Structure 1
Amino acid sequence: MDDQNKNLILATALSFLVILVWFILFPPPEQSNAPQDTAITTSQGTGIQAPDAAAPAAAAGDAAAAAADATVKADAPRVAIDTPRLSGSMSLLGGRIDELSLKDYRVSLDDDAEIVELLAPTGSPSAYYALYGWAPGSGLSATDVPGPLTEWTVTEGETLGVGTPVTLSWSNENGLTFRNTIAVDEDFMFTVTQSVENTTTAPISAAPYGILARHGIGEDADLPGLKNFFILHEGVVAMNDGTLSEIKYKDVRKFDIDPGEGAQAEVFQNKSEGWIGFTDHYWMTTLIPDAGSPFRSAAKYDDRRKIYQAETVLPTMTVAPGETAQVSTRLFAGAKEWETIRAYQNNGVQKYIDSIDWGWFFFLTKPIFWLLHQLHGLIGNMGWAIIGLTLIIKAIVFPLALKSYVSMAKMKELQPQMEALKEAAGDDRQKLQQGMMELYKKEKVNPAAGCLPILLQIPIFFSLYKVIFVTIELRHAPWFGPFQDLSMPDPTSIMNLFGLMPWSGPEAGSLAATILIGILPLLLGISMWLQQKLNPAPTDPTQAMIFAWMPWVFMFMLGSFASGLVVYWIANNTITFTQQYIIMRSHGYKPDVFGNIKSGFKRTPKDEKK
């Protein structure tokens, strides 16, 4: 066996092994780099004090619990939410934003598919809502501040829309008036301004808070609709003064700071910037306090009521008699669109683009997605954009590939000398290795150069897989014909004559779909097989068998992957074949592709099998 075949087998085996290990044994680690629970000691602005780490938090938790226990009145007044991209309403009972749907997104590709529902009120199967309130400080009790069962009054506005904010008001019997002014932009960002007017004769203290509550379905089960795929983060996502924390829902359930009382939490102390919320595959909600002021954020799980909770508690505000104090925070509730989130980051939301799950190879996934996004903007079709991306990636790594293919051509030229060394060395393997090393040194050939392009493809493959799987821009992205969602596996199979018939193929993920593969995985296997035929089959029977099966193993293994990734792999193989064929011919070696294919079908004579 010559060293070139050794290198190719080694590189192929390593590629297969890495893919297998990465996808089965080693999911990406879950980041949870929470700072120590230290008290906030700074303050911003006149009349604002550092919050008590326990009292406001307890009040916020009680508010969420009360909201969960409440039976939502069927006749509770509501304020409509209507923007070009959002529809829904908020309940005046507690002032909760608890009905929200995304007009631009459907649950499936069916013509009659419903639009995606993000938030839902208490009492629905998947309750999910935002709640704002005040934790009472010195001189106040829980009845002096608005709670989750307080019925607010609309004092300004009718329908919440772009440029038409709504103000809710509530006054207690002791001279305090609380107001919530809610505005929304043209995308997915709400701005909530909380204010308190003190008409009493004594100063009062209170801490504003915001809560995102998501009801679960049991301690040992995850929320409805979650993908639960190990390369995808679903759960709490938080930015704490530049440090990203990601905590899966199952791990939020493990937090326990008060055993027996049902209170569980992961606490962060933010000195000046940050945000916290829940992220799913394509959708997200986050609470975003204004930068420059310290605040406390927490991820909690109420094991009695099965509620996941993310909250922010801002510094306690002391309001003098006759004065009004206010604070503004933002609420994102929508789709994780790269351009939209990047715009919010450019407008001051710290590292907001990291709310998208870029994975281990973020240094590759971010630029790869950026390039793919730009190509899609130019071409207008995601399938052709993926092929264009493949061409650019191959052009970038071409210098390395050139060296590899030149080295492989030189190795072929040295084949007669290597055979002579084998005959001269006989069974002396050490002598053979020394002779080959001297030959390589003399001819300036690197036998390992052939492995480099294949090994380089591994992180690129992983990164592109991540991009195609996690980014919403690939969701329901069409190419042509039957390929209307490049984030899903190939929908064709022999059952629908590879997309020529109008009916669908086997259900994605089923055994039938794994066996009755579509046209894209089939083309992938053929492209790998043709690339293999640039070189004669190894003389060793074991090696020949491995080479013979390798394309078809990969064909079935990658057949259940997103069709966009298979498109990339087919394009990559086709370009690689063309490059290698041209370069090898230009250096004197003429690959006999058809001869190698023909020889692969020859049967070994019976007398040679003995």
Structure 2
Amino acid sequence: MEDNNRNLILAMVLSALVILVWSIFFAPEPAPPVQETAQTQAVDGQVAPGTAAAPAAGQTGTAPALAGASADPSQAAARVGIESPSLKGTISLAGGRIDDLELTGYHETLDPNSPNVRLLSPTAQAGLKAEGSPVAPGGAAAVTVQKPYYAVYGWMPAAGTDPALVPGPATVWSVESGDVLAPGKPVTLRWDNGAGQIFRRTYELDDKFLFTISQSLENKGQAPFAAAPYGILARHGKPDTQNYYVLHEGAVGMTDGKLLEKKYKSITELDAAAGEGPAELIEVKENGWIGFTDKYWMTTLAPAPGSSFTAVVKYAPGADIFQTETRMPVQTVAPGATGTSASYLFAGAKVWETINGYQEAPGIDRFVDSIDWGWFYFLTKPIFRLLHWLHGFIGNMGWSIIGLTFILKLLVFPLARKSYISMAKMKELQPQMEAIKERTGEDRMKYQKEVMELYKREKVNPAAGCLPVLLQIPIFFSLYKVIFVTIELRHAPWVGWIHDLSAPDPSSLWNLFGMLPWAAPGQGSFLHSFTLPVLAIILGISMWMQQKLNPAPADPAQKMIFAWMPWIFMFMLGGFASGLVLYWITNNLITIAQQYTIMSMHGHRPDFFGNIKSALPTRPKADDKKGGK
């Protein structure tokens, strides 16, 4: 019995370790003080040609540097609309920038009337209009001011090519064909340099989040013309991040099979490249992509599979602009010929099924690794795949988590069965262990030696009960990662009051679970766990029930630990995502059923109610009181 209690204490200690690790590595960093709000900050910046030397023919081109500017041509330039089942926005004809994009399938909050999630924002926040559409008075539409974030493509002149003959980031293009970019309805922009070269850029869009960008350079001149195509993603200022230690937010990419991840702070600390400022340049031979990732959203530049390019991550300190680039090799276009460059732009939600589809076609290499699978990726990926499959079958993510728990418990059942059988056998050995204890007296070494000989003779492994507990730790962290980072859990309801399994249970005992007309303190913070949400209370009760499968230990210290541990965990875990608490509750209930059934089958049915009674404080009998006198 002492070993059974030791295993349960080990389980509780390891669970406490889980909480400690969570508080150190998973809990968010304190948010830095806000110096300027987005609503009052006027941001005016644009991509401007750099001063770096032009590349020689055949070498990889150098994209324009980013700098702030007091005058932004995109404010006055016309726009082309973007309309699809998943996206809504506009393209500025100044530079042909994709700089105004909303995700129509996602809202900022659970309220269906809340604004759509805005992914990209222009430098001129108040000039959003599609070409040919009515304009609000003063030429501006009322929009929420956000930090500029956009994608821009272009060509850089090679050595010997006049920079004025290539379109710059501020060049105003004209629409050659198409009026609104939509699935099956491409839009082509055109710019003539007046010296015999015509540049075109064609945008195509599917029904999800993938743009296909085709650039062409038609040389009608009398001499060869050399230039290098590029793509840029620019973020003005550090975005508002989640600030979790284990959540990657920043630059992300894949370069010939190697994952690249750079947090924003790390980008500012990069070594200076020649003429670049803080920058990292990686030569990609065949396959790769690069961009910026948030918790649920991402923008990514992806040259056509099989293309060589230079992947760049850099920071412009003076303008406070973070930038990722794909720089393509210089093309020398002969007279009468046309040079082309094709690439993809992903701009949207990190939906696994969608991203996996783009990995298969058009073949963006290892694109699913843009999702932050974490340290236990070898567990996180299959757990998510299983949860995704269950959700497709069941249709409710909460019930899918419960189904996943059953499957995971089934997979570790052989170990659990061996553990519970070992516990039953150790109960059979209890009388012999008591006899050894009486015979050896205070000689602990002799007692331990004879007990180990007894275990060996009876083929009992006292450590068998520990392995299932140890296996729960990586499974717990992996499931936590799945619930925390995958967008499939965002705003996913279960039953009743649980409308978002990725967020803590919003109920609270402090207002009688919504019956009283005041909000619970600490809503949306870790303090919320101390207001006792419903799921936290159920978790505490399930841990208490699991504890009562074994008699209370005789040692007073252990008995006190057992008495307090379920309720301590009840307070500590209330702030976790409700989906994770649901998993833990289900896991506890299955464990109770397994242990009770298996031990009963081996002749040692746990005395659940007897253990509860023995754990309660008892009053001395009347005879005892008299004897005490």
TM superposition score normalised by structure 2: 0.88
2:67 maps to which of 43, 62, 65: 65
Q: Deviations over 1:164-192 (max 9, x none)?
A: 00000001121111100010111000001
2:249 maps to which of 206, 231, 234: 234
Q: CA distance change for structure 1 residues 265 and 27 in 2, over 3 Å: closer, same or farther?
A: farther
Whole-Å Cα distance in 1 between the matches of residues 482 and 526 of structure 2? 26
Q: CA distance change for structure 1 residues 402 and 522 in 2, over 3 Å: closer, same or farther?
A: same
State the match for 2:327 in structure 1: 313
Q: CA distance change for structure 1 residues 524 and 49 in 2, over 3 Å: closer, same or farther?
A: farther
State the match for 1:187 in structure 2: 208
Percent identical: 59
Whole-Å Cα distance in 1 between the matches of residues 91 and 584 of structure 2? 47
Q: Deviations over 1:519-556 (max 9, x none)?
A: 00110011011100000111111111111121122222
Instruction: State the SS of the aligned residue for 1:492.
Output: coil
- Whether 1:176 and 2:176 are equivalent positions in the alignment is no
State the match for 1:251 in structure 2: 266
State the match for 2:181 in structure 1: 160
> Structure 2 matches for 1:392-471, cutoff 5 A?
392-471=407-486
Q: Which amino acid aligns with 2:417?
A: L
Q: Which amino acid aligns with 2:468?
A: P
Whole-Å Cα distance in 2 between the matches of residues 511 and 340 of structure 1? 33
Q: CA distance change for structure 1 residues 518 and 596 in 2, over 3 Å: closer, same or farther?
A: same
Whole-Å Cα distance in 2 between the matches of residues 514 and 6 of structure 1? 28
Q: Is the 8 A contact 1:489 1:560 kept in 2?
A: yes
State the match for 2:239 in structure 1: 223
Q: CA distance change for structure 1 residues 256 and 27 in 2, over 3 Å: closer, same or farther?
A: farther
Q: CA distance change for structure 1 residues 3 and 505 in 2, over 3 Å: closer, same or farther?
A: same
Whole-Å Cα distance in 2 between the matches of residues 105 and 335 of structure 1? 9
- Whether 1:600 and 2:615 are equivalent positions in the alignment is yes
State the match for 1:10 in structure 2: 10
Q: Which amino acid aligns with 1:592?
A: D
> Structure 2 matches for 1:11-26, cutoff 5 A?
11-21=11-21, 23-24=23-24
Q: Deviations over 1:482-527 (max 9, x none)?
A: 1000000000011342356797644434465132120001100110
Q: CA distance change for structure 1 residues 70 and 454 in 2, over 3 Å: closer, same or farther?
A: farther
Q: Deviations over 1:74-97 (max 9, x none)?
A: 331000000111100000011100
Question: What is the CA-CA distance between 1:122 and the residue it aligns to?
Answer: 0.7
1:373 maps to which of 388, 402, 413: 388
Q: Which amino acid aligns with 1:477?
A: A
Q: Which amino acid aligns with 2:208?
A: D
State the match for 1:31 in structure 2: none
Q: Is the 8 A contact 1:493 1:506 kept in 2?
A: no
Q: Is the 8 A contact 2:217 2:338 kept in 1?
A: yes
Q: Deviations over 1:191-232 (max 9, x none)?
A: 01010011111111111000000011xxxxx422x1111121
Q: CA distance change for structure 1 residues 462 and 521 in 2, over 3 Å: closer, same or farther?
A: same
Number of residues of Structure 1 aligned to a counterpart in Structure 2? 576
2:605 maps to which of 574, 590, 596: 590
State the match for 1:145 in structure 2: 166
> Structure 2 matches for 1:57-96, cutoff 5 A?
57=62, 60-62=63-65, 64-65=66-67, 70-96=71-97
Instruction: State the SS of the aligned residue for 1:310.
Output: strand
Whole-Å Cα distance in 2 between the matches of residues 443 and 465 of structure 1? 40
Deviates more, 1:482-491 or 1:416-425: 416-425
Whole-Å Cα distance in 2 between the matches of residues 262 and 325 of structure 1? 27
1:51 maps to which of 28, 50, 59: 59
Q: Which amino acid aligns with 1:103?
A: T
State the match for 2:538 in structure 1: 523
Q: Which amino acid aligns with 1:439?
A: L
Q: Which amino acid aligns with 1:61?
A: P
Instruction: State the SS of the aligned residue for 2:398.
Output: helix
Q: Which amino acid aligns with 1:295?
A: F
- Whether 1:110 and 2:121 are equivalent positions in the alignment is no
Question: What is the CA-CA distance between 1:18 and the residue it aligns to?
Answer: 4.5
State the match for 1:325 in structure 2: 339
Q: Deviations over 1:418-438 (max 9, x none)?
A: 111111111111110111011
Whole-Å Cα distance in 2 between the matches of residues 511 and 203 of structure 1? 65
Whole-Å Cα distance in 1 between the matches of residues 453 and 160 of structure 2? 89
State the match for 2:277 in structure 1: 263
Q: Is the 8 A contact 2:291 2:301 kept in 1?
A: yes
- Whether 1:209 and 2:230 are equivalent positions in the alignment is yes
Question: What is the CA-CA distance between 1:274 and the residue it aligns to?
Answer: 0.2
Q: CA distance change for structure 1 residues 512 and 232 in 2, over 3 Å: closer, same or farther?
A: closer
State the match for 1:97 in structure 2: 98
Instruction: State the SS of the aligned residue for 1:126.
Output: coil
Q: CA distance change for structure 1 residues 312 and 19 in 2, over 3 Å: closer, same or farther?
A: same
Q: Is the 8 A contact 2:25 2:246 kept in 1?
A: no
State the match for 1:491 in structure 2: 506
Whole-Å Cα distance in 2 between the matches of residues 518 and 134 of structure 1? 57
Q: CA distance change for structure 1 residues 258 and 311 in 2, over 3 Å: closer, same or farther?
A: closer
State the match for 1:361 in structure 2: 376
Instruction: State the SS of the aligned residue for 1:394.
Output: helix
Deviates more, 1:597-606 or 1:227-236: 597-606
Instruction: State the SS of the aligned residue for 2:552.
Output: coil
Q: Is the 8 A contact 2:74 2:92 kept in 1?
A: no
Deviates more, 1:419-428 or 1:121-130: 121-130
1:132 maps to which of 153, 166, 187: 153
Whole-Å Cα distance in 2 between the matches of residues 495 and 12 of structure 1? 27
Instruction: State the SS of the aligned residue for 1:599.
Output: helix
**RMSD, matched Cα:** 2.2
TM superposition score normalised by structure 1: 0.91
Whole-Å Cα distance in 1 between the matches of residues 420 and 87 of structure 2? 54
- Whether 1:576 and 2:577 are equivalent positions in the alignment is no
Whole-Å Cα distance in 2 between the matches of residues 111 and 333 of structure 1? 22
> Structure 2 matches for 1:472-483, cutoff 5 A?
472-483=487-498
Q: CA distance change for structure 1 residues 25 and 373 in 2, over 3 Å: closer, same or farther?
A: closer
Unaligned runs of 5+ in 2: 29-55, 126-145
Instruction: State the SS of the aligned residue for 1:227.
Output: coil
Q: CA distance change for structure 1 residues 526 and 96 in 2, over 3 Å: closer, same or farther?
A: same
Instruction: State the SS of the aligned residue for 1:65.
Output: strand
Whole-Å Cα distance in 1 between the matches of residues 483 and 519 of structure 2? 23
